[in-house]
Amino acid sequence: MQRVRKETDDSLLNEGQALGELLGTYSMELQFAARNLSNAVNVSRIAFAAADADTPPDQASQWSGPLVDAKSNAKVAMDVAATAVRNTERHGKSLLRQAKTTAELALDNHADELSLHVGDLSGSVDAAKAKLESTLEKTSSQNSPANGTAVVDSKAKKDNIIARMIEVETFIKSAQAVSQAKIAAAKDKVDVGIAKADKELAMKVEDMVTKLKGQEHTELQKLRGKLTATAISKLPGAKTPVPKRVVHSSKTGGQKPKAAL
């Protein structure tokens, strides 16, 4: 039983570390997606300001027309992306909490199953969760995303302000789409990873439970054998083993006794 208990503790700790690494990488990828989009918003604003500054005075005073529409569309796209950055940061934290809860639930469920055979495992589960938490923090902090190097790759002529505004709009919309795709891919990856870890732990638990049931069966058979033997010995008419008598040899060297006269 002690060996199985030690094996259980080790399995839970190892699983906690593996899940912590998985969640730490997930956290980093979510931060990276938000940071890249934030950088793209800053870059697009710089490009927008440069194009706006190059706008001829006679066009800058217009109230309608293609240039006004191009500027408006670029501004809206940048504002939407800036809002998406804030939402991504909040949503990323929510996604991480959800994934962490799912991972911890897997540890709880399998520990509950094992506790039926080896006793209370709450302390082992707490240790595994603590390992998950510390590993998550360590992994995400060691791989914190650096500032991106996004640039608006402009091919428009300097005096073509409309084309330059359209480039800004296209750039920031593309950056937002990439950010959303990376978040979705990261979520799929962590979901698959947690499901895989849960399945592996389930197999380990099943193997340990099978071994424990085998040991319990063996011990029960031994106990039944002892009880049966004891019960039979107490039945009426049961023969009690008679100790063998030890016959000592005569000091006369085996001579027959003389008959009386």
DSSP, residue by residue, 122-147: HHHHHHHHHHHHHHHHHHHHHTPPPP
d(CA 115, CA 117): 5
pLDDT band at 58 (very low <50, low <70, confident <90, very high): confident
**Mean pLDDT of all residues in 97-101:** 92
pTM exceeds 0.85 for this model:
no
d(CA 90, CA 220): 56
pLDDT band at 261 (very low <50, low <70, confident <90, very high): very low
Among candidate residues 16, 193, 196, 183, the one with its CA nearest the CA of residue 108:
16
pLDDT band at 147 (very low <50, low <70, confident <90, very high): low
Please determine, for residue 251, whether its predicted confidence score (pLDDT) is greater than 60.
Answer: no
Please determine, for residue 243, whether its predicted confidence score (pLDDT) is greater than 80.
Answer: no
Give the per-residue pLDDT at 189.
93
Please determine, for residue 119, whether its predicted confidence score (pLDDT) is greater than 80.
Answer: no
Give the per-residue pLDDT at 152.
75
Q: Which of 70-74, 108-112, 132-136 has the lowest mean pLDDT?
A: 108-112
d(CA 79, CA 86): 11
Which of 35-44, 114-123, 246-255 reaches the highest mean pLDDT?
35-44
Give the per-residue pLDDT at 38.
92
Instruction: For the chain, give the mean pLDDT.
Output: 81
pLDDT (tens digit per residue) in 179-238: 999 999 999 999 999 999 888 888 887 887 777 766 665 666 766 666 665 655 666 655
Give the per-residue pLDDT at 220.
66
88 exposure class (CB count in 10 Å sphere: 0-12, 13-18, 19+): buried
Of residues 142 and 236, more confidence is placed in 142
d(CA 36, CA 52): 24
d(CA 205, CA 208): 5
**Mean pLDDT of all residues in 49-77:** 87
